[in-house]
Amino acid sequence: MSQSKPLMLVVEDDAAVRNLITTTLETHGYDYISAATAHAAIASAATSNPDVILLDLGLPDFDGIEVIRKVRSWSQMPIIVISARNEDADKIDALDAGADDYLTKPFSVGELLARLRAALRHLSYFSDENDSDAIFVNGELTIDYAAGIATLSGCELHLTPIEFKLLCLLARNVDKVLTHQYILREVWGSTQESYLASLRVFMGTLRKKIEVDPSHPHYIQTHVGIGYRMMRIQ
Ligand code: CA
């Protein structure tokens, strides 16, 4: 991120919602450009290289999911989906296509700003720490990927190989919601339904090892019916 204000690309065909978002951005020190169609969104993403894309899914020319796929073919810029669709299947499609996060309409301004901050933290993490990404640090949690060691408050965690893989996957995607399907594919190499039960079991045992209170997790957030996210600890 440069010293200038972060640039947001707001993709929304509903003028009232678009104005609400852009006014919020302006008030909170962000620059923005906007697009009302999927075509215009892809063109702006390519020419203006925004820091974050805020993307509506229901667009007049074609679906926002296609915008995600197109942008992902050349860029890892954060994409936050803002959609009226409340079905888990739609959120999962968007996340699997490469979106980083989602907000369901109606959303609060506070919620929007929190998601934006998370997306920007993610960005600065990748641009600032590219050279030192062999060691991951988040709050009291540290992972030495190469050595295969994770510590919490300086004490080594005794993790099974699957727990370690799971922890690394979440850490490498910190602040991003990962779908069950994605995790199953990456950790177990199969998206068979039967592995979902294993994922829940391993997530439970992992949480017992890294969370002070596993019923109120600090590091790993559950998105019911969708997946998990490792939170970036301030
Ligand atoms: Ca729309």
- DSSP letter string, 157-208: P---HHHHHHHHHHHHTTTSEEEHHHHIIIIIS---THHHHHHHHHHHHHHH
Distance CA 166, CA 168 (A): 5
Cα(76) to ligand 1 centroid in Å equals 23
- d(CA 37, ligand 1 centre) in Å: 9
pLDDT of residue 180: 94
At 92 the pLDDT is 86
pLDDT at 210 (0 to 100): 95
With beta carbons less than 8 A apart as the criterion, state whether 99 and 79 touch. yes
Spacing, Cα 41 to ligand 1 middle (Å): 13
User: Cα of 7 to ligand 1 centre, how many Å?
Assistant: 21
What's the confidence (pLDDT) of residue 83? Answer: 86
C-alpha of residue 231 to centroid of ligand 1, in Å: 29
User: One digit per residue, pLDDT tens: the chain, 234 residues?
Assistant: 445 789 999 999 999 999 999 999 999 999 999 999 999 999 999 999 999 999 999 999 999 999 999 999 988 899 999 988 777 888 888 988 989 888 888 888 888 998 898 888 766 655 544 445 688 999 999 999 888 899 999 999 999 888 999 999 999 999 889 999 999 988 888 888 888 988 999 999 999 999 988 889 999 999 999 999 999 987
- For residue 60, say if its preceding peptide bond is cis, omega within 30 degrees of 0: no
Task: Look at residue 53 in the predicted model and tell me its pLDDT.
Answer: 97
Q: For residue 227, what pLDDT is reported? A: 94
Q: Which of left, alpha, beta for 120 (phi over 0: left; psi -120 to 50: alpha)?
A: alpha
Q: What is the pLDDT at residue 3?
A: 53
Q: Is 111 helix (H, G, I), strand (E, B) or coil?
A: helix
Tens-place pLDDT, residues 117-153: 888 876 665 554 444 568 899 999 999 988 889 999 9
CA 14 to ligand 1 center in whole angstroms: 6
What is the pLDDT at residue 234? Answer: 74
Quick one: CA dihedral 115, 67, 20, 120, positive or negative?
Answer: positive
Plot region of 59 (φ>0 → left; ψ -120 to 50 → alpha; else → beta): beta
Q: How far is the CA of 106 from the centre of ligand 1 (A)?
A: 12
Is residue 56 within 8 Å of 17, Cβ to Cβ?
Answer: yes
- Those residues whose beta carbon sits under 5 angstroms from the ion ligand 1 are 13, 56, 58
Which residues have C-beta within 8 Å of that of residue 227, sequence separation ≥ 6? 92, 95, 177, 178, 179, 180, 181, 182, 183
User: How far, in Å, is the centroid of ligand 1 from the Cα of 222?
Assistant: 27
The string of pLDDT tens digits covering residues 61-70 is 999 999 999 9
pLDDT at 1: 45
> What is the token pair recorded at 37?
């169609």
Tell me the CA distances in angstroms from 216 to 135, 212, 221, 222, one per residue in order.
26, 8, 9, 10
Rounded CA gap, 116 and 122, in Å? 10
Rounded CA-CA distance 47/24 in Å is 24
- Cα(104) to ligand 1 centroid in Å equals 12
Q: Measuring CA to CA, which residue among 11, 12, 169, 181 is closest to residue 95?
A: 181
